[in-house]
Amino acid sequence: MWAKMLRALLRLCLLLCMLPAVAEAVEVSATAAVLLDADTGQVLYEKNGDEQMLIASTTKIMTALVVLEQAGLDDTVTVTRDHMAEGSSMYLKPGETVRVEELLYGLLLCSGNDAALALTACAGGPMNEKAAALGMTRTSFANPNGLDAEGHYSTARDMAVLAPAAMEEPTFRRICSSRSVTIGQRTMENHNRLLRQG
């Protein structure tokens, strides 16, 4: 369902870009943006697409993709104090044992910085290698959660390459399209407003 919605949106954008009067009226408040057709890779709209910028929590798309390639959903991680992080959280507690699937929900629904750090315990390291394999030539990852760090940046064009690659992963799609989930005593809500529209 999510992939169909994305394709329909991209086709609509393509149609609008074919109409010169409408295409000239497109204005985006973002500093940088790239819109591409997920099926063909054709760039439909671009603004500062190759400018290297901080990428914040969009980092977690790559974290999830790498974890899904390297770990099983039923693998477990024992949370340590090193997994605690500033910012958004799924409120992990040191000493608790959590399944990878629950951590992925915490990563993608709650944008949990703690979940990102805990997930590196079972699948850490190869984010830059995966970026290179996808052709993300102007990207460098320094951490799994997106907190500002030297050597942590990407571009709108590279992120436009990453998003459809992640959407090809069925578990990633399932988790991202969940409005909420309750696992044990923990309920996590997805704050993506697109899931609540029409």
Out of 60, 88, 130, 154, the active site residue is 60
For β-strands 76-78 and 43-47, DSSP reports them as unpaired
* Long-range CB contacts (within 8 A, 24+) of 44-49: 44/10, 44/13, 44/14, 44/17, 45/13, 45/17, 46/156, 46/157, 47/156, 48/156, 49/155, 49/156, 49/157, 49/160
Asked if 146 contacts 59 with a C-beta cutoff of 8 angstroms, the reply is yes
Annotated catalytic residue 154: no
- Residue of 88, 89, 111, 140 marked catalytic: 111
60 is catalytic: yes
Query: What is the rounded distance in angstroms from the CA atom of residue 188 to the CA atom of residue 109?
Result: 7
Catalytic, 57? Answer: yes
User: Which secondary-structure segment (H or E) carries 44?
Assistant: strand 43-47
Q: Name the packing angle between helices 59-70 and 100-108 (round to 10°).
A: 160
Catalytic annotation, pick one of 57, 88, 130, 154: 57
CA dihedral 58, 60, 65, 66 (to 10 degrees): 130
Q: Would you name the residues annotated as active-site residues?
A: 57, 60, 111
